[in-house]
Structure 1
């Protein structure tokens, strides 16, 4: 490799994977990937897809704020949060492809599935709206995911436990960042307060789905591998109430929209995400850079 060619130095040799950036090694290298005894590999793969798709789609939505955030500092912060989630997605999708024995790579799962094949909650795919709505969505997502990862750190699956242990530190920052903005906007001017109230109202119908357990989650929770999301609601409500109190905002009315994201039922918003996120991979199948 020539030292005077920075592109060759970055790309490495013989690595044909490109979608998450050329030069990455196997994200699961050095981690015990043995499926725990008594656990169905298909169930484990499906669960990893759920959590991985949540992170991947939410990461893409946050990336859409690059060049559009109110200040440069916020663009950097949101880009870093998006990168944290992208890192979690890499590990979880790689684990999904390995656990079910299908041989699919993280790239295959991220870029070669249609919307019905995705298992993310609908909160992740919802359109960004204005900055206040995005902060409301990020707060809800981060508080929920932090409660989940905190419990998942004790999973019998070594990959899930490792992802969760690292993710707790990352998502704690995500939560605190979003909470700071919700308080700043909610307890700010009359205009910012109205925008924050409307943002919460737009996001709130998507909250109920976060706590509806899927049969795969329940089976794996009984096996000590996954988390029953219904057990997270009390912690979620307590944290949200603290933030809303500080922001002088009332909890929106409990109205839920149709769920089903875990079963591949999505709105047009996910089609919009995938049309952008997968465009290069589908236009140049097997391409490298």
Structure 2
């Protein structure tokens, strides 16, 4: 027979989850308004009661055991439901309430999530958006409700909805760089230029620069003095004259407008799918998840 928690044991479960999330008795105690010794006693009592060590404790760190890691993963959804139920008391029935977990690349967070949070704060104050930076989400494992990815290539059991228009590639460099290097007129000219390498995709492979014009396609391996997977570093490098960057028009246009960057090979720039929101097909979205999806799609 499955053992049920007694009423007094829920506090011990909360104590364990707080310490596990914070990886610190002191920080968790401050969050809960308790003393570290009280919290330590509660967690120890919980471990004794279930007969499993859940936390490894040293004077310098608190880490989860294998059993503790599994228990925390199993507890998170249940604790979030409890929090949502308590938070919903006194809230009108038609008002979305709850925590929504979203996985998204950093660029999507910068472009889309910031404005969506402001809309949610205004229109859905009882919805909490838990956002995690995941460059290539791929699926919704890990307890996520929604994900954002480049393009609409998703599994059969997923639904993908466009959030942006297609992106257009943009090769840019600084005026200072072009003062010392003649602008390329054809993609083949890039072999004589310093180019900023981008590590891309789930495997972190070096991105090959692709160009198209009048049915002709050119794909190049480029080289330079910087290779990174950090888009901000690539952009800073281009502005600082380190080399040319193969970026996205929506990202670089403000710097082109203010003169910090110059665009080249414009007539060779291909387009590719923009950001898409995706979620599990079949079951209807909860009001809170629907509210977040609507906020991400809104342009108002």
The alignment's TM-score, normalised by the length of structure 2, stands at 0.25
Larger strand proportion, structure 1 or 2? Answer: 2
Q: More helix by proportion, 1 or 2?
A: 1
Greater RCO between the two (CA within 8 Å, min separation 6)? 1
